[in-house]
Amino acid sequence: MNTLGAMTRRRLINLVGRAGGASAAYATMSAMGMMPIPAAYAGPPALETGSGYGKEVVILGAGIAGMTAAYELSKAGYDCTILEARGRAGGRNMTVRAGDMLVEQDGQQLVDFDAAPHLYFNPGPARLPYHHQGTLGYCREFGVALEPIVNDNRGAFFQNDGAFGGEPIRNRRIVNDSRGFVSELLAKAVNKGALDDELTALDREQFLDFVRRFGDLDETLMAYQGSSRSGYRVPPGSGMLPGEKIAPIDMAELLKSDFWQFKLYFGEGFTQGATMLQPVGGMDQIAKAFESRVGNMITYNAEVTQLRREGEGVRVVYTDATGAEHGIEADYAVCTIPFSVLKSLDADFSPAVSEAIEACHYVSACKAAFQAERRFWELDDQIYGGISWTDADVTQIWYPSGGFHEPKGVVVGAYIWSDDIGNAFGALPPGERLAKVVSECQRIHPSFGDQVTGGVSIAWHKVPFSQGGWAEWEDESRAAAYPAVTKPDGPIYFAGEHVSYLTGWQEGAVLSAHDAVRGISERVVASR
Amino acid sequence: MNTLGAMTRRRLINLVGRAGGASAAYATMSAMGMMPIPAAYAGPPALETGSGYGKEVVILGAGIAGMTAAYELSKAGYDCTILEARGRAGGRNMTVRAGDMLVEQDGQQLVDFDAAPHLYFNPGPARLPYHHQGTLGYCREFGVALEPIVNDNRGAFFQNDGAFGGEPIRNRRIVNDSRGFVSELLAKAVNKGALDDELTALDREQFLDFVRRFGDLDETLMAYQGSSRSGYRVPPGSGMLPGEKIAPIDMAELLKSDFWQFKLYFGEGFTQGATMLQPVGGMDQIAKAFESRVGNMITYNAEVTQLRREGEGVRVVYTDATGAEHGIEADYAVCTIPFSVLKSLDADFSPAVSEAIEACHYVSACKAAFQAERRFWELDDQIYGGISWTDADVTQIWYPSGGFHEPKGVVVGAYIWSDDIGNAFGALPPGERLAKVVSECQRIHPSFGDQVTGGVSIAWHKVPFSQGGWAEWEDESRAAAYPAVTKPDGPIYFAGEHVSYLTGWQEGAVLSAHDAVRGISERVVASR
């Protein structure tokens, strides 16, 4: 164990501290890499004003990556053109509201919500981790208002048909009874002397105290007998109501469920832990903020049909809304088209790049959302935002983190990111998808179906110009194929979440666009 | 262990399920108390309209308890008068903004913030647990807008002078490395066979898998070698940046700190776990919503000097702002005056009630807040809301959960609830308090002092008409003395957070006021 193995190192630091005081200890720790270092993000590229003058860049795609590139390059004087296949900017960053259409390759769905600021649905990205400072930096710069999005809610439910008789169990019980269970067993092992070798460096009584508090064990018995952390059968109240703790769950049942496989620690993930944020009023506030700055560079409804190197530069052919063909030449291209789409493009990429494009897998992610005529999750279940989990195909129910106590709300009834389930779900006609979602959500909220209207769904692998939720590099293709697209293919630079280790996050789009911008700028400056 | 002992019961349920199907299993579980029961709160008292006609109630104190009582009683036709010693309603529910004064018995402090909706400070209660449905119910009924308050932030800091060289450590590292440490030791014990007796009922391989995932152990070694949950030394990025995990903390150092004593699981507490809520713009939005409904019943600046039974009813004497004395008679009284104040009142309580009033301890809670000219916690440390903990006297730093990315913000630099520390802090002149807070906050944010202005502090035990943060009943006085004040003393009913098992929470005030209202109503209806 690194943690116990580190004790020699720690002892050394203590000696330094005793001899040289705290500041000497700090300096030594720092030198030994034992101190936190500042977050790596150092802001967007700082290109010299006018350094791009006279250079043309064609940017393929007005998603977050494309608009980031256009915004930064144009500030330095580059002449940017963005070709966007859709009639709107943002790409997978989108928010739908009353009257919007969700388009898939074989049909479209009308968003039949009431018109109100809080009645929206983010079919694509919906949350921002606190450390995604590239994206958050633009929110700050552009004045996009943010609010917390509740991700991990101790009051939400876990439900699994194979455990606990299929009954939904509160998150707080699963999480805290697990801790109690783990602590009790560990305390037993310590008291049996089974870990004496491992604990030589620690004060045994203190360690047992730590274990007891970790799981809220009974102080005398060192046994887990339930904890107020898991909630109450009868909550404490006024007068003569001290409350009655709820009995612990059966750990054998827990092991029958899939809760412990990842749901139990979902909220501890680096990209999922508090504080998670969202733009007030919908994720597209970010896209709109970019669009208001680079919209004049965007040609909408421009579907790229050909991408070729021409001399030192590039030539792009695209069709407009009427089907008419146009050509555009530029010194450089920033290609943000998802590889799921790019692989079918007529292009003259190098073999290594073509191989990477082919190797990149896209997730068949799906979501569905409804307008609820009554916020039953708040009124009946005291759930304010966050996620309930089920082993049914819908996987998750997301409750809104805004509009609390409004009469109505939009609830996400399915968020699927397994290819098999997503492909099957996407193959259903929209009405059947919704019927399935209602039926599965009723395992958690029995009256779900009676309280929702206006459902809408999305299967990202069927969305034109996206053809997938996000990129996923398997270990092998990450090692062998991926590196090729992190470098330019002649004058063509690649950007987008797929050109990052932050796939599925807008931060990957932002940071990879910064890389492309820096790459172009360095080349241009060097050539002057 | 109840959890393993319950397996026989569980096996029985399985048998019922096999014989009679899932619904039979559910029914049996329900009958055996194994299923969650609905939350106990059934809404405010539903008094019959006009049932209080002709009856007068004098309510002492226009805090949350007093206004709740007045609101519910007056709906039923009772003639209510609220006597409030202060010039405002809300009691300890208060929010201060630019130009407000914080008053203590020996001085006052001007709140020197800029005027802006997000630049406020809640010296008293500041958060609402999701299950405090009495309070939240009024927010819903009155249209008080709510938003999440981030309580447990994995990006915030823990700091202890006696551990880790005094360096602040991210919450995510403390929390997740602890899990890894616990898991590794438990896995070792299991693999040594030390827990064979305890695990007979569980599949050993599955249990080890559970343990591995609980702490994110290395799959092959079953050792904790750090986890992405704890964050990165170099975070994953775009291009060729896969990220580099941060090394685990030294658990011997952890045990030297006080982190594990309660800070480690603070966010798992039933009253502190997500989702926590706050009114948009300040906690006093709740007080103001009540006041707009019962303000016409409030006599402000009315300091009660005498409370006596008179015939079947009560007689109250109070002085007005000029010092002139007034008397008021009523059929009933609802007394919400904190016992810290009430114990000095000229009153003819029964001996049991007097004893309870005397026995109730009040916490010397203190807070301090500053206007920051720059939101350095966001800009430098990626902290969005939540709490950093230190073993210094200031105990906590609270970062605002709203106004993200605004140029300025109000940061709470101290929240103290230890009597010893609070009494010492409160004894300092305001300027010395602030200097101490700055100095201690600099252990976490070295440039704290350079970036804040306009500090203000409160020592609740020195606040007239409150004389303490909240009530605390020791086990003995809870058992022996407390019950007396949950019953009326003749025509006098007691309400407030102190008349509950939810001391320190507005919910205790609301629910105890409901009890008083129900008690009066039952008596009046029975007497008609």
Secondary element (H or E) of residue B308: strand B303-310
Q: Has residue A27 got a pLDDT over 70? A: no
Task: Specify burial of residue B449 (Cβ count, 10 A radius: 0-12, 13-18, 19+).
Answer: middle
3-state secondary structure of B98: coil
Distance from CA of A104 to the nearest CA of B (A): 29
Indicate yes or no: CB of B150 within 8 angstroms of CB of A275.
yes
- Spell out which residues of chain A touch residue B262, defining contact as CB-CB under 8 Å: 213
Tell whether A3 lies on the interface with B, counting CB pairs under 8 A. Answer: yes
- Spell out which residues of chain A touch residue B260, defining contact as CB-CB under 8 Å: 210, 213-214
Q: How many Cβ contacts (< 8 angstroms) between chains A and B?
A: 375
Q: Has residue A247 got a pLDDT over 90? A: yes
The nearest alpha carbon in chain B to A498 belongs to: B238
Q: Where are the alpha helices (DSSP H) in A130-228?
A: 133-142, 171-191, 204-215
Q: Where are the alpha helices (DSSP H) in B417-505?
A: 419-427, 430-441, 448-451, 475-480
User: pLDDT: is A90 or A16 the higher one?
Assistant: A90
Distance CA B40, CA A237 (A): 9
Strand partners, A372: A409, A452
Query: Which of A25, A155, A274 minimises the CB distance to B154?
Result: A274
Query: Which of B185, B195, B237 minimises the CB distance to A198?
Result: B185
Q: Has residue A13 got a pLDDT over 60? A: no
Contact B170, B156 (CB under 8 A): yes
Q: Give per-residue pLDDT as tens, B292-313.
A: 999 999 999 999 999 999 999 9
Predicted confidence band of residue A18 (pLDDT cuts 50, 70, 90): low
Residue B443 φ then ψ, to 5°: -65, -25
Looking at residue A52, the DSSP 8-state letter turns out to be T
Provide the pLDDT for residue A26.
43
Contact A263, A156 (CB under 8 A): no
The token pair at B296 is 């016409």
Amino acid at B441: C
Indicate yes or no: CB of B251 within 8 angstroms of CB of A383.
no
Predicted confidence band of residue A44 (pLDDT cuts 50, 70, 90): very high
What mean pLDDT is reported for chain B?
93
Distance CA B211, CA B395 (A): 33
B265-281 burial, b if ≥16 CB within 10 A, otherwise e? bbbbbbbbbbbbbbbeb
Distance CA A340, CA A361 (A): 8
**Residues with Cβ < 8 Å from B89, sequence gap 6 or more?**
B62, B63, B67, B287, B288, B290, B291, B295, B298, B300
Query: Which of A131, A166, A226 minimises the CB distance to B235?
Result: A131
Distance CA B248, CA B278 (A): 35
A416-437 burial, b if ≥16 CB within 10 A, otherwise e? bbebebbebbbeeebeebbebb
The token pair at B31 is 């009958």
Residue A215 φ then ψ, to 5°: -110, 0
Contact A403, A172 (CB under 8 A): no
ipTM value > 0.90: yes
Indicate yes or no: CB of B231 within 8 angstroms of CB of A4.
no
CA separation, residue B57 to residues B91, B118, B304, B366, B485 (Å): 19, 38, 15, 34, 18
The nearest alpha carbon in chain B to A493 belongs to: B239
Contact B48, B75 (CB under 8 A): no
- Spell out which residues of chain A touch residue B261, defining contact as CB-CB under 8 Å: 213
Provide the pLDDT for residue A23.
43
Distance CA A432, CA A123 (A): 18
What number is the average pLDDT over the span A483-488?
Answer: 98
> How would DSSP label each residue in A353-415?
HHHHHHH-EE---EEEEEEESS-HHHHTT---SEEEEESSTT-EEEE-SSSTT-S-EEEEEEE
Question: Regarding beta strands A276-279 and A346-347, do their DSSP bridges make them parallel or antiparallel, or are they unpaired?
Answer: unpaired
Q: Has residue A7 got a pLDDT over 50? A: no
The token pair at B402 is 């709203």
Token pair 């330094």: residue: A16
What number is the average pLDDT over the span A74-94?
Answer: 98
Q: Is the N-terminal amide bond of B81 cis, ω within 30° of 0?
A: no
Provide the pLDDT for residue B7.
42
CA angle B280, B284, B287 (to 5 degrees): 120
- Spell out which residues of chain B touch residue A211, defining contact as CB-CB under 8 Å: 182
Contact B73, B80 (CB under 8 A): yes
What pTM was computed for the model? 0.93
Tell whether A247 lies on the interface with B, counting CB pairs under 8 A. Answer: yes
Indicate yes or no: CB of A172 within 8 angstroms of CB of B260.
no
Contact A503, A471 (CB under 8 A): yes
Contact A462, A426 (CB under 8 A): yes
Distance CA B329, CA B345 (A): 17
Indicate yes or no: CB of A241 within 8 angstroms of CB of B386.
no
Predicted confidence band of residue A454 (pLDDT cuts 50, 70, 90): confident
What mean pLDDT is reported for chain A?
93
Task: Specify burial of residue A148 (Cβ count, 10 A radius: 0-12, 13-18, 19+).
Answer: buried
A positions 49-88 inside 8 Å of B (CB): none
- Neighbour tally for A450: CB within 10 Å: 12
User: Angle A133-142/A506-527 helices, nearest 10 degrees?
Assistant: 80
Provide the pLDDT for residue A30.
46
Contacts 24+ apart (CB under 8 A), B394-400: B394/B368, B394/B436, B394/B437, B394/B440, B394/B441, B395/B421, B397/B156, B397/B441, B397/B444, B397/B445, B398/B126, B399/B150, B399/B153, B399/B156, B400/B118
Q: Has residue B26 got a pLDDT over 50? A: no
Sign of CA dihedral B117, B122, B128, B133: negative
Provide the pLDDT for residue A6.
42
CA separation, residue B463 to residues B127, B454, B459 (Å): 21, 20, 7
Predicted confidence band of residue B1 (pLDDT cuts 50, 70, 90): very low
**Residues with Cβ < 8 Å from B211, sequence gap 6 or more?**
A182, B183, B186, B187, B190, B217
3-state secondary structure of A250: coil
Q: Give per-residue pLDDT as tens, A349-372.
A: 999 999 999 999 999 999 999 999
Q: Give per-residue pLDDT as tens, A173-197.
A: 999 999 999 999 999 999 999 999 9
Tell whether B147 lies on the interface with A, counting CB pairs under 8 A. Answer: yes
Provide the pLDDT for residue A40.
62
Token pair 């995510």: residue: B172
Provide the pLDDT for residue B41.
83
Q: Has residue A35 got a pLDDT over 70? A: no
The token pair at B360 is 């109730």
Query: Which of B3, B167, B185 minimises the CB distance to A186?
Result: B185
Predicted confidence band of residue A41 (pLDDT cuts 50, 70, 90): confident
Distance CA A496, CA A468 (A): 13
Provide the pLDDT for residue A528.
86
The token pair at A270 is 């680096």
Distance from CA of B345 to the nearest CA of A (A): 23
Q: Give per-residue pLDDT as tens, A282-339.
A: 999 999 999 999 999 999 999 999 999 999 999 999 999 999 999 999 999 999 999 9
Distance from CA of B471 to the nearest CA of A (A): 13
Task: Specify burial of residue A31 (Cβ count, 10 A radius: 0-12, 13-18, 19+).
Answer: exposed
- Neighbour tally for B322: CB within 10 Å: 6
Using a pLDDT cut of 70, give the percent of chain B over it: 92
A364-376 burial, b if ≥16 CB within 10 A, otherwise e? bbbbbbbbbeebb
Distance CA A147, CA A282 (A): 11
Longest CA pairwise span in chain A (Å): 86
Q: Has residue B17 got a pLDDT over 90? A: no
